[in-house]
Amino acid sequence: MANPKNKKSSLTDAQRAEIDALRGATTPTRRATVPALEEILYEPLPVLDHGFVRVIDYMGDDAAVVQAARVSYGKGTKRVSEDRGLINYLMRHRHSTPFEMCEIKYHVKLPIFVARQWIRHRTANVNEYSARYSILDNEFYLPAPEQLAVQSVANRQGRGDVLDGKEAARVLDLLREDALRSYAHYEEMMNERSDGTVIDSARSGLARELARMNLTLGFYTQWYWKTDLHNLLHFLSLRADAHAQYEIRVYADAMLETAKRWVPLTYEAFEDHGLGGVRISAKGMVVVKKLIAGEAVTQEQSGMSKREWSELMAVLGRST
């Protein structure tokens, strides 16, 4: 994992000072704590060019999941092997409520277009930086050249082949020019710089809540995002998937590392049944059973659509 302190541009001096103060303090508690997560508590994990993810707070651990599942038995077992077996059972049979007993809160800095995709996960508490009250920093996302690709022909919401050098350079120039121009106009309309200084004392500035509409979706915003473990894993199962958009997937990848530190037994089960597992429909199971029995099955005989059939064959490692 990259050193969180390598990308100083991701944090303001005030944020860095706050993090240093929080990490320098020790608070006695009787609550369960997780040393591996405590190691990175408050520290930003760099994502993209100016973004980050950092854990602000958490409640519970693997033992809390087990305790919730065995509430009628009180404290539950202390044997890791038994806890692992129970957590695997809960994950395998999709018993979600024990995982809802754990919560985690993140501070995330991300491009606005990623935030608009992320917010579709509605099972969380969110408080976003307000451009009605404050001025957004002049920070915008510029993709790496290898992330600039044409529209996919097969997937309407995906990418195809990577642009060649000249085309990629032109796209980056356009993105940069548009962002710089829109930010300059943003400051001009407000008659105010990001540091609070007035540009022209002889005129009034447009309200911040109106001036912000000029900014592109590539500019960075920030929010606090709190969710329970069950819904975090659901988010990660979708956004850490290879089919997810790259710009949100890298955030999910960083959050996977925090989950692994926080609840290692749950993460192990999630890797097996969530990230590495697959769901097969009833029709798909009929096909699988026939194939195991040595029978020949075609897409037309299966009653599945061409897309469903292709997906099933890909899962089974068979050519369509």
pLDDT tens for 250-290 read 999 999 999 999 999 999 999 999 887 788 889 989 999 99
Whole-angstrom distance, CA of residue 159 vs CA of residue 243: 10
Same domain, residue pair 11 and 109 = yes
Residue 223 has pLDDT above 50, yes or no: yes
Of all residues in the chain, the percent with pLDDT exceeding 70 is 93
pLDDT tens across 35-86, in order? Answer: 999 999 999 999 999 999 999 999 999 999 999 998 755 555 556 778 999 9
Long-range CB pairs of 145-153 (<8 Å, 24+ gap) are 145/169, 145/172, 147/246, 147/247, 148/172
Q: Name the band, by pLDDT with cuts 50, 70 and 90, for residue 317.
A: confident
* pLDDT of 168: 92
Same domain, residue pair 54 and 201 = no
Residue 289 has a CB neighbour count (10 Å cut-off) of 11
Q: Which of 170, 197, 217 is the last residue of a domain?
A: 217
DSSP character string of 262-301: H-HHHHHHHIIIIIS-----HHHHHHHHHHHTT----HHH
Residue 207 has pLDDT above 90, yes or no: yes
Kindly report the CATH number assigned to the domain that includes residue 100.
3.30.1360.170
Start-end of H helices in 140-228: 165-190, 208-211
Residue 161 has a CB neighbour count (10 Å cut-off) of 10
* pLDDT of 170: 95
* pLDDT of 320: 66
* pLDDT of 233: 97
Same domain, residue pair 167 and 64 = no
Q: Are 59 and 11 in contact (CB under 8 A)?
A: no
Q: What integer is the mean pLDDT of 213-219? A: 95
What is each CA distance from 119 to 104, 110, 170, 187, in whole angstroms?
Answer: 17, 12, 31, 27
Q: Is 239 a catalytic residue?
A: yes
Same domain, residue pair 8 and 97 = yes
Whole-angstrom distance, CA of residue 278 vs CA of residue 283: 14
How many residues make up the chain in this entry? 320
Provide the 3-class DSSP secondary structure of residue 150: strand
* pLDDT of 185: 96
Please report where in the chains the tokens 């320098």 appear, as a residue.
24
Residue 3 has pLDDT above 70, yes or no: no
Q: Are 199 and 193 in contact (CB under 8 A)?
A: yes
- Total domains present in the chain: 3
Same domain, residue pair 125 and 235 = yes
Per annotation, catalytic residue among 170, 239, 307, 318 = 239
Q: Which of 217, 232, 252 is the last residue of a domain?
A: 217
Same domain, residue pair 77 and 41 = yes
Give this prediction's pTM: 0.87
Same domain, residue pair 15 and 117 = yes
Range name among 173-177, 229-233, 286-290 with the lowest pLDDT average: 286-290
Q: Are 45 and 257 in contact (CB under 8 A)?
A: yes
**E strands in the chain:** 45-47, 51-59, 103-111, 125-128, 149-151, 159-162, 220-228
What is each CA distance from 313 to 78, 89, 166, in whole angstroms?
Answer: 42, 28, 38
Same domain, residue pair 36 and 113 = yes
Range name among 65-74, 113-122, 171-180 with the lowest pLDDT average: 65-74
Same domain, residue pair 242 and 117 = yes
Same domain, residue pair 124 and 179 = no
* pLDDT of 4: 43
- As a whole number of Å, the end-to-end CA separation of the chain is 38
* pLDDT of 73: 52
- 262: domain range? 1-137+219-277
* pLDDT of 136: 92
Same domain, residue pair 104 and 245 = yes
Same domain, residue pair 259 and 288 = no
Strand 103-111, strand 220-228: pairing:
antiparallel
